[in-house]
Amino acid sequence: MKALFLTSYGDEGYGHIFRCIAIASALDQFRVVNKFLISTKDRRKILSKNKLLHNFDWYNLKKKTFNIIKKYDLVIVDSIIIKKIYLEELRKKCNYLIYINDYHRWKINNILHVDWTLFSKKKINKIEINNHIYAPLRKEFWSKDKVKIRKKIKRIFIFFGGADIHNLSYKICKIISNFKENYLVTVIAKKKINFKNTKCIKYMNAKNIKKNILNNDLVITSGGQTLYELANLGAPSLVVSETKYDLEDINAWQRQKSIIYFGKWNTKNFTENFKEKFKDIKSPVIRHKLSKNGKKIIDGKGALRLVKEILKYVRNHSKK
C-alpha cells in the first residue's frame, strides 16, 4: 500500500504539515510507504528528501495532481483552503480518500472524515473518526517526558508556529522585558528581537522545540495543533488567538482547564489582559493544575491509533 499527503504550509501556518508528518511517522511504523505533495513558497525545508514527492500548486493544477494520485492507494488531504467541489473531484480519482475535516465540517459521502478536536460535533458524516484520542503528535512527542513544575517561573518559551502573522513575538517580549523580574526568554521569530535576557532563534525542529518546552517554566503561544503537544508534556501555557481558525481548539482546552487564555491578538486591552493572566499563572498551584489537566487528556499515542483505524477502514471498504 502507498499513501500520499496533500497539504500546504507557509502563510497559512505550519500546523497542517506538522500533523501530517505525525501521521506519516505512524504509517512508517506500519510499513506503509508514504509521500507528500505540497504547495508552498516557503523556503524552509521541513520535509526530508525521501518524503517530498512534489511541490507545486496542486490546488489549481488539477490535471497534474490527478495523474499523480492515481498511482497511490490512499490519499490524505489536510487543508482549510481547499474547495468542497475539488475534494469531491479528488474522491472520484482515488481509491481511498481521507479528509482532516476539523474546520469546515463538510458532509461528503464515501470518504473517511477525521476530526480529533476536543468536544467537536460528532456524527456529521456516516464514515468518520472523531475523538481526541486520535490526535496525532509528531514522533518526538510520543515519549513519556513531562514538564517539571517549579515554585517560580524563571524561564519562558515563546513561539507562534513559525508564521507569527501579527508579530506577537515582539509584542509579548517587549511586555515581559518591562517586568521587574529578570525572566530568561527564548523566542522563535523570523526577525531578531533585542530585549534583555532574550534569546531569539529563527527556526527550531521538533526535537529542539520539545527540549525548550521541557526546559522552560512557561510557554506562550497561540491555538491549534501546538496545544495538543503542550498538553502531552504537561506544559503550563498562556494562549492567544491569532486567527478565526484556532478559537475552537482554544475554547476546548480552556474548558478542560489546561491552558490560560488571554484573548485575541487584536483586542484593545491586549497588554492589560496579558499582565493579568501572567499574574495568575505565576502561582505554582495553578501551573500544577494546568499540567495535570493536559496530561490526562493527551498521551502521545494518537497517531498510532489513528493509522490503525485508517488501515481498518481500508480493509473494511476494499473495492472488489
Q: Which pLDDT score is estimated for 43?
A: 82
- Where does 143-295 sit in CATH, by number? 3.40.50.2000
DSSP character string of the chain: -EEEEEEE-BTTBSHHHHHHHHHHHHHHHTT-EEEEEEE-------S-TTTEEEES-TTT-HHHHHHHHTT-SEEEEE-SS--HHHHHHHHHHSSEEEEE-SSS----TTSEEEE--TTPPP-SSSSEEE-GGGPPPPGGGSS-------SS--EEEE--TTT-TT-HHHHHHHHHHTSSS--EEEEE-SS----TTEEEES---HHHHHHHHHH-SEEEEESSTHHHHHHHHT--EEEEE-STTSHHHHHHHHHTTSSEEEEETT-TTHHHHHHHHHHHHT-HHHHHHHHHHHHTT--S-HHHHHHHHHHHHHHHT---
What's the pTM value of the predicted model, to 2 decimals? 0.93
Q: Which pLDDT score is estimated for 319?
A: 57
Q: Which pLDDT score is estimated for 320?
A: 42
Kindly list the averaged pLDDT for each block of 10 residues, start to end, along the chain of length 320.
Answer: 94 87 97 97 88 96 96 95 95 94 86 89 81 95 94 96 82 95 94 92 92 97 93 97 90 95 95 97 98 95 97 80
| Topology alike, domains 2-139+300-316 and 143-295 | yes
Q: Which pLDDT score is estimated for 126?
A: 81
Q: Which pLDDT score is estimated for 165?
A: 82
Q: Which pLDDT score is estimated for 82?
A: 94
Residue spans per domain, the chain: 2-139+300-316, 143-295
- Where does 2-139+300-316 sit in CATH, by number? 3.40.50.11190
